Amino acid sequence: MEKILIVKGNIIFTKVSNRFECYEDHYIISINGIIEGIYKVLPQKYENCTVKDYGERFIIPGFVDLHLHAAQFLQCGMGMTKKLLDWLNDYTFDLEKQFQDVSFAKEVYKRFADQLVAKGTLRACIFGSTSTKGTEILFEVLKEKGIGAYVGKVNMDRNAPDFIIETTEESIKGTKYLIEKYKDEKRVRPIITPRFAPTSTEDLLQRLGELAEKYNIPVQSHVSENIDEINWVGALFPDSKNYVDVYDKHGLFGQTPTVMAHGIYLDKDELNRVKRNKVTLTHCPDSNVNVRSGIMPLRKYLNMGLQIGLGSDIAGGHKIALNEAMVRAIQLSKLVNMRKPEYEILSASEAFYLGTKGGGSFFGKTGSFEKGYLFDALVIEDDEWIANRYGLEDRLESFLYIGDDRNICARYVEGCEI
Ligand code: GUN
Ligand code: FE
């Protein structure tokens, strides 16, 4: 039987990045989780259906976080005077090691997932840890929450402390196990996750690329985030032309759908490959600043027509709420603009687009309210004095800047309230 959901309220979303689509006091109809249309007057054939009327509240697409580390959730806001490689060595690996402990993993991943959903993220690309058992728990916890996610067991077989790396064999075996177990899941699915080139041998990368191809599984990793990291990649992979080439030559750069975090210092050849291979890049503004990697040249990439999404990069970024990442992306664009006026600032609609439809396209038709898209939505209640005085775009901008989970009064994934 068809599952029909009809909600009414002030609907706002971005179909294209440069403007908001606003439908005040409209109905949005979802059938079996897929949006059928938006109407001012309810079509006659739905007359007898119940309508969830949200009154003055506004309805927006759920947030999509294209890059974060569940196993770093406890260290948000710590070690924030360090740069990337020291931060990994001094804080991160030690925490990630603990996820071998099943009861620890259960407790922390539950807290992580609760916060993710509370803040309105309904789709995410998530790194677990190197622990296969721990990552299996992450799959289960996320399945329970009802949101959509790609989840990766982190692959590392060199250049990290012994207590956290695996042999190439173990790393592949665990990855294969999770792929076999979860590849046919509806919403929480596996993604191949070499941490980054420096902690991978060529052999590991090669075999991960083969797994990606064999099972048609997407890929996520980090690329070109930090100058020391890039120099290190050059030294470790002398036969590769550049950082991107390391992934590309092993079938980990767009051969299956691929999302790469950061990409701050990509050269011309690398950017051509990003575009040609249709690789999605994730802008992680908080992380760019916190571990002082640099600022992704977002405007340049947008002008090139690259596919971009937003990431909280917990815990390089310190806030899991994606509206905060949207705001920080705007703020960083203003800093860039003050130095280089030719790089225009990011508008509210552009930032919103990145965190909804931009990232959402990695999951198929999500992140928008166009016909045929999955109905993933947040219902937002703001202060009545703001609601009464301002238009929809101003109200949304205000929510992005100062709102939080207290303003989110309902969450829908594929037409089901969660
Ligand atoms: N590069 C390799 N590992 C990491 C990580 O955990 N966080 C970030 N931001 N960059 C990385
Ligand atoms: Fe990261």
- pLDDT (tens digit per residue) in 216-251: 999 999 999 999 999 999 999 999 999 999 999 999
CA of residue 83 to ligand 1 center, whole Å: 11
State whether the Cα torsion 321-366-149-274 is positive or negative. Answer: negative
Please report the pLDDT score of residue 233 as a whole number: 98
Q: What is the pLDDT of residues 287-340, one digit of tens each?
A: 999 999 999 999 999 999 999 999 999 999 999 999 999 999 999 999 999 999
How many Cβ atoms from other residues are within 10 Å of residue 111's Cβ?
14
Ligand 1 nearest-atom number relative to CA 313: 9
- Ligand 1 contact via 319 beta carbon (within 6 Å): no
- Ligand 1 contact via 360 beta carbon (within 6 Å): no
- Ligand 1 contact via 196 beta carbon (within 6 Å): yes
| 322-339 and 392-402 helices, crossing angle to 10° | 100
Mean local confidence (pLDDT), 118-144: 98
Rounded Cα distance, 14 and 333, in Å: 20
Rounded Cα distance, 51 and 356, in Å: 25
Atom 7 in ligand 1: residue holding the nearest Cα: 316
Contact 313, 69 (CB under 8 A): yes
Contact 146, 122 (CB under 8 A): no
Rounded Cα distance, 352 and 397, in Å: 9
Contact 354, 306 (CB under 8 A): no
pLDDT tops 90 at residue 370: yes
Q: What is the pLDDT of residues 246-295, one digit of tens each?
A: 999 999 999 999 999 999 999 999 999 999 999 999 999 999 999 999 99
**For 130, which DSSP code?**
S
Identity of residue 63 = F
SS3 355: helix
First CA to last CA distance, the chain: 20
Identity of residue 224 = S
SS3 24: strand
Q: Which ligand is nearest to the CA of 220?
A: 2
- Ligand 1 contact via 287 beta carbon (within 6 Å): yes
Residue 134 CB partners (closer than 8 Å, separation 6+): 71, 99, 100, 101, 102, 105, 128
Mean local confidence (pLDDT), 206-218: 98
Q: Walk me through the domains of the chain, giving residue ranges and CATH numbers.
A: 4-62+368-417 (2.30.40.10), 63-363 (3.20.20.140)
Identity of residue 160 = A
pLDDT tops 90 at residue 97: yes
Using alpha carbons, select from 141, 235, 237 the residue that is nearest to residue 194.
Answer: 237
Residue 162 CB partners (closer than 8 Å, separation 6+): none
Ligand 1 nearest-atom number relative to CA 69: 6
Q: Which ligand is nearest to the CA of 313?
A: 2
Q: What is the pLDDT of residues 171-201, one digit of tens each?
A: 999 999 999 999 999 999 999 999 999 999 9
Contact 87, 316 (CB under 8 A): yes
Q: Which ligand is nearest to the CA of 223?
A: 1
CA of residue 225 to ligand 2 center, whole Å: 9
Q: Is 281 exposed, middle or buried (0-12, 13-18, 19+ CB in 10 A)?
A: buried
Q: Which ligand is nearest to the CA of 228?
A: 1
pLDDT tops 90 at residue 129: yes
Residue 271 CB partners (closer than 8 Å, separation 6+): 301, 304, 306
Please report the pLDDT score of residue 180 as a whole number: 98
Contact 283, 330 (CB under 8 A): no
- Ligand 1 contact via 195 beta carbon (within 6 Å): yes
- Ligand 1 contact via 200 beta carbon (within 6 Å): no
Q: What is the pLDDT of residues 74-84, one digit of tens each?
A: 999 999 999 99
